[in-house]
Amino acid sequence: MRELLDKLYETNALTKEEIIEVLRHLDEGENKKLLFDYAHRTRLAHYGPRVFMRGLVEFSNYCKQDCMYCGIRASNRNADRYRLTPEEILECCKEGYELDYRTFVLQSGEDYWYTEERLMEILHLIKSTYPDVAVTLSIGERSRATYEKLYAAGADRFLLRHETASRELYESLHPKMSFDNRMECLRILKEIGYQVGAGFMVGLPGQTLEHLAEDLDFLHRFQPDMIGIGPFIPHNDTPLKGSKGGRVEATLVMVAMARLLVPKANLPATTAMGSLDPQGRERAIKAGANVVMPNLSPTSVREKYALYENKICTGDEAAHCRNCIEMRIKVSGFDVDMGRGDSLNWTEPSVG
């Protein structure tokens, strides 16, 4: 086991079979401690003690998809739907810019009310007002033509979690969605030139150790610029209500493994981690994560963007949100970086 962890640290590569072997033996305390130490050293080697801050704007909770685990799925009639206007989105960015954010993450459900023309208008508004910022989109599956137009309009990055690298598990959780199309979208985004983010949840019903190894193997082969990994948290208005949720400890292992397999990627310490454990985000940072995304959305809509339940920080003003997480980062021994924080996988491309 020690030999495999040493190999992972030194080469940033393992076969899928070796990944499975590592995951099977990580309950042994010393192995897990060594994994976290190696992940921490790796992030320091590439990014130092910096933690990048992104301003998150959740601009619509309408969604055409019906993912089995998601609180804003199309079939959830209890969801209180909302959409922000381009002007309201720009106002969120204005507040964020004054708080020194230089990356804005625009996230929504798959809401086709936001046509490519509307999205291009939003990008033009932001980029013409704040030309020094990076804009990340997280809006789901669109056509190649739309992705190309949004990139030309100023979008720098695109987050599209692959959700799971197992076709069987993907199809069981995503009615009417195509596993092949999901993977094709990721390939297209990378080909166009975006900084691309993939990722998955830990602890989904039906998910096995082998599935998680497939996810990590996919990340190693794809080498995304960003990787979002969080625990599954059940929502009472979904078919998976009452299911056992994911664990923070298991998610930390996946964050550390992802850091070692894709050493130059940006890895967020997700809000879901902080929702399950008051120290969840700090623990993720110590296990290899290097990004946090405080919320800039209007407080009037934050509770409505409920992918899962008991989400933290829904009532905090943007300034309080920033100050709170900044203090947490500094107390944990890291430095806050408000710059663009581009992925080294994008600026210094290499194959792991």
What pLDDT digit, counting tens, does each position of 111-169 carry? Answer: 999 999 999 999 999 999 999 999 999 999 999 999 999 999 999 999 999 999 999 99
CA 249/CA 328 separation, integer angstroms: 19
Q: What is the pLDDT of residues 55-88, one digit of tens each?
A: 999 999 999 999 999 999 999 999 999 999 999 9
What average pLDDT does this structure show over 227-243? 97
Q: What is the pLDDT of residue 13?
A: 98
What average pLDDT does this structure show over 333-343? 97
DSSP, res 268: B
Residue 319 confidence (pLDDT) above 90: no
The residue length of the chain stands at 352
CA distances from 303 to 60, 63, 182, 238, 286 (A): 12, 16, 28, 17, 29
Q: What is the pLDDT of residue 175?
A: 95
Would you say residue 347 lies in a domain? no
CA distances from 262 to 4, 7, 14, 50, 352 (A): 16, 14, 11, 17, 7
Q: What band does 350 get if pLDDT is binned at 50, 70 and 90?
A: low
Residues ≥6 apart with Cβ < 8 Å to 347: none
Rounded to two decimals, the pTM is 0.96
Q: What is the pLDDT of residue 348?
A: 84
Tell me the percentage of the chain whose pLDDT exceeds 70.
Answer: 99
Would you say residue 295 lies in a domain? yes
Residue 352 confidence (pLDDT) above 50: no
Token duo for residue 256: 């550390």
Would you say residue 274 lies in a domain? yes
Would you say residue 131 lies in a domain? yes
Residue 244 belongs to what domain range? 2-342
Would you say residue 351 lies in a domain? no
Q: What is the pLDDT of residues 190-206, one digit of tens each?
A: 999 999 999 999 999 99
Whose tokens are 């137009």? That residue is: 149
Token duo for residue 239: 């078919």
Question: Can you count the helices (H) and strands (E) in the chain?
Answer: 15, 9
CA 349/CA 265 separation, integer angstroms: 10
Residue 110 confidence (pLDDT) above 80: yes
Residue 185 confidence (pLDDT) above 50: yes
Residue 27 confidence (pLDDT) above 80: no
CA 118/CA 120 separation, integer angstroms: 5
CA 12/CA 219 separation, integer angstroms: 12
What average pLDDT does this structure show over 91-114? 97
Q: What is the pLDDT of residue 28?
A: 66
Would you say residue 350 lies in a domain? no
What average pLDDT does this structure show over 10-32? 92
In the sheet that 291-292 helps form, which strands lie side by side, from edge to edge? Answer: 291-292, 50-53, 335-337
In the sheet that 134-138 helps form, which strands lie side by side, from edge to edge? Answer: 55-60, 103-108, 134-138, 157-159, 195-202, 226-231
Name the domain count of the chain.
1
Mean pLDDT (the chain, rounded): 95
DSSP structure string for 182-235: HHHHHHHHHHHT-EEEEEEEES-TT--HHHHHHHHHHHHHH--SEEEEEE----
Q: What is the pLDDT of residue 91?
A: 97
How would you label 202-235 residue by residue, b for 16+ Cβ within 10 Å and e otherwise?
bbbbebeeebbbbbbbbbbebbbbbbbbbbbbbb
User: Helices 16-24 and 248-261 sit at what angle, rounded to 10 degrees?
Assistant: 150
Would you say residue 91 lies in a domain? yes
DSSP structure string for 80-140: ---B--HHHHHHHHHHHHHTT--EEEEEESS-TTS-HHHHHHHHHHHHHH-TT-EEEEE--
CATH of the domain at 283: 3.20.20.70
Would you say residue 252 lies in a domain? yes
Q: Which amino acid is at 252?
A: L
Residues ≥6 apart with Cβ < 8 Å to 119: 137, 139, 146, 150, 153
